[in-house]
Amino acid sequence: MVIVTQDMIKQMENLMEASEESLKITFENLHQGYPAETMIRFLKARDGNISKAHNMLVDCLKWRTENEIDKILSKPIIPAEFYRSVRDSQLIGMSGHTKDGRPVIAIGVGLSTYDKASIHYYVQSHIQINEFRDRVVLPSATKKFERHVSTCVKVLDMTGLKLAHLNQIKLLTVISNIDDLNYPEKTDTYYIVNAPYVFSACWKVVKPLLQERTRKKVQVLSGCGKDDLLKIMDYESLPHFCRRQGSGSSRYSRSSTGDDCCFSLDHEFHRELYYYINQQAAGIKPRAPVKQGSFHVGFPEPNLTGCKIAQTIETEFHKLEDQNGFTDEQSDPKTNEKGHEKETNA
């Protein structure tokens, strides 16, 4: 693990001082009052190489400027019924905080369908949640826990993951690339729960392709992960799909009410997000009537590693599909729970 020194930060600061004024303004919006911590994130993402970290940061600032990312929270997805369909097919929410104040972001990987809108709407929605996290959620956590909180943890629910999810790889690769290049080191740990057979088979071949830094961030927990997650968060902050064995992330689950299910638009997180975006939009005088349409963001070109991982997953999915006797029952975490081994950061 790279150790970032004060000298490295100082060199980054000097390079940024020589940047164009427009990039300096964008950098201020990005770092939210913590420039050194932001530089540390980019330095870690490039293993301490100052030149590469600076180039990565500059590219990020140019991406934000060219795509008006600083304004994306004033661009609501409309109408409301369409926004609900996007949210219902892209399951993501916030269930609470860890004991040290980091937001707990929950993602329903297996039950997200991404079939109600074009890729541009899902990318817009994803970036809006990233920006809301960075501009609102993290500063709020910093104030509440009286310590600087700049990262989150993510709990990924694999309930319902099947071979049919193969057609989502392109979209997920785009989202992953956006996060890697423009929001580096914002997630401390990815906890995988309710992992079915199909995930376990793919993880075995994908894991060696990941950078060591990334591998150490991923932990595959047994079953719904409740016991392990309670070591870092209180019960109230557990995502609804982790609160009982086999509960799953289904937004239709009878055991999950609107307030309890962090994917629901009735949940506090989504109410605040929706209200914030609409308030920001109301503060900007439109030049013309607002029309339905996505806020198009330029997609980064997938790197070689990302392409190789996507191809490996696709190949592995097809292998599983061709295996005699493979059925959807093998995607049920309850039938495969005994076959999972817990991944650690060792």
Phi, psi of 189 (to 5 degrees): -145, 140
Report residue 189 CA to chain centroid gap.
Answer: 11
Mean pLDDT of 329-337: 46
Tens digits of residue pLDDT in 27-37: 999 999 999 99
**157 has a pLDDT exceeding 60:** yes
Give the pLDDT confidence score for residue 346 in this predicted structure: 38
| CATH 3.40.525.10 describes domain 73-282 | yes
Average pLDDT over residues 101-119: 96
- When pLDDT is averaged across residues 65-70 and rounded to a whole number, the result is 96
pLDDT band at 308 (very low <50, low <70, confident <90, very high): low
The CATH number of 6-66, from 3.20.20, 1.10.10, 1.10.8, 1.20.120, is 1.10.8
pLDDT for position 335: 43
Does the pLDDT of residue 311 top 90, yes or no? no
- The answer to whether residues 98 and 239 touch, using CB atoms and an 8 Å cutoff, is no
Q: Give 255's pLDDT tier (boundaries 50, 70, 90).
A: very low
Amino acid at 105: I
pLDDT mean across residues, the chain = 85
Residue intervals of the chain classified under CATH 1.10.8 are: 6-66
Least confident of 107-116, 119-128, 263-272, 326-335: 326-335
Which of 56, 54, 61, 68 shows the shortest CA–CA distance to 23? 61
Q: What is the DSSP letter of 22?
A: H
Q: Which residues contact 123 (CB under 8 A, 6 or more apart)?
A: 171, 174, 175, 178, 297, 299
Which residues are CB-contacts of 160 (< 8 A; sequence separation ≥ 6)? 108, 110, 111, 248, 249, 250, 331
Looking at per-residue pLDDT, the higher value among 122 and 305 belongs to 122
Give the highest mean pLDDT range of 12-26, 169-183, 254-268.
Answer: 12-26
E runs forming strands in the chain = 92-97, 103-108, 152-157, 187-193, 218-220
- pLDDT tens for 46-67 read 999 999 999 999 999 999 999 9
pLDDT confidence tier of residue 201, bands split at 50, 70 and 90? confident
Do you know the residue count of the chain?
346
pLDDT band at 245 (very low <50, low <70, confident <90, very high): low
**Are residues 175 and 306 in contact, defined by beta-carbon separation less than 8 angstroms?**
no
Enter the tokens of residue 152: 């989150």
Q: Please report, as a single letter, which amino acid is at residue 74.
A: S
What's the pTM value of the predicted model, to 2 decimals? Answer: 0.85
Q: Where in the chain is the domain with CATH 3.40.525.10?
A: 73-282
DSSP 61-124: HHHHHHTTGGGGGG---SSHHHHHHHHHHS-EEEEEEBTTS-EEEEEETTT----SS-HHHHHH
Higher-confidence position of 249 and 272: 272
Q: What is the pLDDT of residue 31?
A: 96
Q: What percent of the chain has pLDDT over 90?
A: 65
pLDDT band at 121 (very low <50, low <70, confident <90, very high): very high
CA 297 to chain centre: 17
**Do residues 280 and 74 lie in contact, with contact meaning Cβ atoms separated by under 8 Å?**
yes
* Angle 296-302-307 from CA coordinates, rounded to 5°: 135
Q: Does position 343 have pLDDT exceeding 60, yes or no?
A: no
Q: Are 294 and 118 in contact (CB under 8 A)?
A: yes
pLDDT at 266 over 60: yes
pLDDT value for 168: 82
| pLDDT score of 301 more than 50 | yes
- pLDDT score for 200: 80
Higher-pLDDT residue of 16 and 311 is 16
